[in-house]
Structure 1
C-alpha cells in the first residue's frame, strides 16, 4: 500500500469509526482530551489499526 492509499484509508477509518464514537465523547467530557486520546491509542481496536497504518507512512 503506498502513502496516498494509506492516508485515504486512515481518513476513511476516522470518518467511519471515530467521528461519532460515544466512548471518546464520554472520556473527553469526564476525563479530558488526553485521557480520551490515551484510550483510543492504547485500548481501542480502531486505534490499533490506525497505528499499524501509521507505520506505513514512516
Structure 2
C-alpha cells in the first residue's frame, strides 16, 4: 500500500513539473539575467509550484 502512495506522489510531482515548470518563462529569464543559481533559488523559495513540490518531497521522505 505504501508503494502505491509513493507512486501516486511521484505521478503528481511529474504532472506538476510538466504542466508548469517545463518552458517556464520566468525561470528562463532569471537564468539568463542572474544565472542558474538565482533561478533555482527563486523556484524553491518564491514560486508556488516549487512550494507544492517541496510538500510532496516531505511526504516522500
On whether the aligned pair clears a TM of 0.5, the verdict is yes
The unaligned stretches of length 5 or more in structure 2 are none
1:3-58 superposed Cα distances (whole Å, 9 cap, x missing partner): 10001100000000000111000001111111001000000000000000011110
2:7 match: 4
Q: Which has the higher contact order (CA 8 A, sep 6+)?
A: 1
RMSD (Å) for aligned C-alpha atoms? 1.1
1:50 match: 53
1:31 match: 34
Counterpart CA distance in 2 for 1:32 and 1:3 is 33
> Which protein is bigger by CA-based radius of gyration?
2
1:22 match: 25
* TM-score w.r.t. length of structure 1: 0.94
